[in-house]
Amino acid sequence: MTSMADLTRLHLSRSRRRFLQTSIAGLSGIALSSCGWTLAKVQTDQVRQGASDELHVYTWSNYVDQELIDAFRSQTGIKVISDVFDSNETMLATFQAGKARTYSIIYPSDYKVSQMVKLGYLSELDHSRLDGLQNILPRFQKSVHDSGNRFSVPVSWGTTGLIYNSEKLTEPPTDWNYLWTHKDKLTRRLTLMDDVREVMGAVLRSLGYSYNSTDLQQIKQAYEKLQELKPAITTFTTDAWRDQLLAGDLSIAMGYSADAVNVINQNPKLKYVIPTSGTSLWSDTMVIPKTAPNPDAAYAWLSFMLQPEVAARVTERLFFATPNQAAFNQLPDTLKNNVTLFPPQNLLDKAETVAPLDKSILELYEKYWTKLTSS
């Protein structure tokens, strides 16, 4: 059996948003119960007689690993082939280019689900074919993006915050405004994410506004505040900050909680903080596209992933927060009490999801973002 320490080392280099252009084919089924895979068998009659025994999955790089693939193959006989994307925009562009017909399961982020529904890309889920939806936490069953999980099943969640080197910063940050009050000390030692909604949202919260503000003056004010910070920013990146922070080239970076757990495991002197003024609460989901070539296998995958034992094991290995309450109950105390993965309620109360905005408002965000990042 692989130890937790070995699994940790194996997956430290993985990232929620790292781009890997690769595919993984499932191998023949193996006995996994000795490593903790003591699972209820997925009902293989969900896969019609004569249907393909392959399931193509399109996902983020750290959501499907070989152990998961092998466990699913062992239970169902279905081989999984997993391709990865680096951003929701890349994933959506694949649909718009007509290249998504290969996939029966896709992993979009919550805010993309509503957009994909409007575009007519997603199948409405038949809940009678899914076991375990009742274990999903209420906040993810009532998402503004897909209330009632009509089109999507949440698979992970997290927050956005600041990861910093506690040896380099003697005064720890507590809020977004730290970046402005200490910008002289942080010059060329700071990165922000390459994500207009996350960055603009964070600045809006620092000003006391909503992460999803539609007020033209508030949005302009956030842009002007970012312009003040621009000379101190090394770059806008959602991924490259990890290696730079570990190498000591950065003092602080904006990033996702799942990535923070990985780098902190590599260097305990790195710390993660959720800004006190508020941040984003994101979730990633699983959906079945209307063009799915094997929807029966897709339902088998969703039911498999909803099993508490599966969700708990994935959280232990890949270090992202599960939205499955029954799975959470099975986690070791070290993970349950990890406030980076599972923040206290008082901080979650101040968090907002990245909500859908009207096209004209989105265009304004993009206009300011282009001016900021190209100047």
- Is residue 297 located within the same domain as residue 201? no
The residues near 151 (Cβ < 8 Å, ≥ 6 apart) are 113, 116, 117, 122, 123, 124, 125, 287
> Domain check: are 131 and 150 in the same one?
yes
* pLDDT on residue 40: 44
Strand partners, 56: 81
Find the distance separating the first CA and the last CA of the chain, reported in whole Å.
Answer: 53
CB atoms within 10 A of CB 52: 15
Asked if 253 and 356 sit in the same domain, the reply is yes
In the predicted model, what is the mean pLDDT of residues 334-340?
93
Is the pLDDT at 7 greater than 50? The verdict is: no
- 189 shares its domain with 118: no
- Six-digit token pair at 10? 């194996």
Q: What are the tens digits of pLDDT across the range 136-165?
A: 999 899 888 999 999 999 999 999 999 999
Cβ proximity of 162 and 178 under 8 Å: yes
Question: Do both 236 and 355 map to the same domain?
Answer: yes
Residues 186 and 299 in one domain: no
- pLDDT tens-digit profile of 26-82? 333 333 433 444 444 454 444 443 346 899 999 987 789 999 999 999 999 999 999
For residues 204 and 319, membership in a common domain is answered with no
In Å, what is the CA distance from 117 to each residue of 111, 142, 144?
A: 11, 16, 13
Question: Domain check: are 205 and 296 in the same one?
Answer: no
* Segment 82-130, tens digit of pLDDT: 999 878 888 988 988 888 899 999 999 998 899 899 999 999 999 999 9
Length of the chain: 375
Backbone angles phi, psi at 104, to 5 degrees: -105, -15
- Strand-pair partners of 369: none
Sheet holding 105-106, edge to edge: 23-25, 79-84, 54-59, 105-106
Same domain assignment for residues 357 and 265: yes
Query: Residue 187, Cβ neighbours under 10 Å: how many?
Result: 14
Task: Note whether 341 and 321 are within 8 A (CB).
Answer: yes
pLDDT number for residue 72: 97
Which residues, listed in sequence order, are joined to residue 255 by a DSSP beta bridge? 161
pLDDT > 70 in the chain, percent: 86
In the chain, the number of structural domains is 2
Q: Which residues pair with 283 in a beta bridge?
A: 157
Provide the pLDDT confidence category of residue 320 given band limits of 50, 70 and 90: confident
Are residues 321 and 365 located together in one domain of the fold?
no
pTM of the model: 0.78
- 143 in the same domain as 187: no
Q: Which domain holds residue 143?
A: 4-157+283-336
Q: How confident is the model at residue 328 (pLDDT cuts 50, 70, 90)?
A: very high
Q: DSSP character for 41?
A: P
Amino acid identity, residue 317?
Answer: R
Handedness of CA 214, 216, 221, 226 (dihedral sign): positive
How far CA 83 is from CA of 51, 58, 61, 311, in Å, comes to: 21, 5, 8, 20
pLDDT of residue 45: 46
310 Rama class: left (phi>0) / alpha (psi -120 to 50) / beta? alpha
Catalogue the long-range contacts made by 184-188 (C-beta closer than 8 Å, 24 or more residues apart): 184/232, 185/251, 186/232, 186/251, 186/252, 187/231, 187/232, 188/232, 188/234
**Confidence band for 280, pLDDT divided at 50, 70 and 90:** very high
214 and 358 assigned to the same domain: yes
Report pLDDT digits (tens) over 190-232: 999 988 999 999 999 999 999 999 999 999 999 999 999 999 9
Residue 46: what pLDDT? 47
**What is the amino acid identity at position 130?**
L
Dihedral sign for Cα atoms in the order 25, 31, 35, 41: positive
Domain CATH number, residue 104:
3.40.190.10
Of residues 53, 130, 151, the one with CA closest to residue 305: 130
**Hey, what are 2's tokens?**
């692989």
